[in-house]
Amino acid sequence: MELLKNPVDGFSAGLVDDDNIFEWNVTITGPPDTIYEGGCFNAIMSFPYNYPNSPPSVRFTSELWHPNVYPDGRVCISILHSPGDDPNGYELASERWSPVHTVETILLSIISMLSSPNDESPANIDAAKEWRDHRDEFKRKVSRIVRKSQEAL
């Protein structure tokens, strides 16, 4: 309700089905001054029954080429990882899920992820390798995806 009353630039969100408050449709606009600018990317945000004690998951249903998005569309960012210490030692507990996060902070983090890919611990190894080693090819691929997302509107 808060997002409907006070929309935030860069995304919109609403229930997939009015009878299920645990699954939301999300549309994220590619951030200005990035290679994703002008794109319109759809995702599903799924909340566990013990939310806010556990994080939701976010999966893009639109095609997205990004080091921090698995090939199946799942988003991999620290704040969506279970709370507590990272068993792999990559993230501080303070960087992981906390019940203080909101839909707004999650989506703003995803927008930030689009602006600044983290190729240190990639979800999509091929995208991360291309981001590091063949930036022009990466940009061409993203430009095609952005155009495709605009045509779907």
Going from N- to C-terminal start, the domains of the chain cover: 2-151
User: Into which CATH architecture does domain 2-151 fall?
Assistant: Roll (3.10)
40 among known catalytic residues: no
Selected catalytic residue, list 26, 45, 69, 76: 76
| pTM score of the predicted model | 0.92
- Which one, of 5, 116, 29, 28, lies nearest residue 68 by Cα? 116
- Alpha-carbon span 34 to 112, nearest angstrom: 10
User: What is each CA distance from 151 to 32, 39, 40, 84, 89, in whole angstroms?
Assistant: 19, 10, 10, 42, 42
pLDDT by residue for the chain (153 residues), tens only, comes to 677 666 678 899 889 999 999 999 999 999 999 999 999 999 999 999 999 999 999 999 999 999 999 999 999 999 999 999 888 888 888 999 999 999 989 999 999 999 999 998 899 999 999 999 999 999 999 999 999 999 987
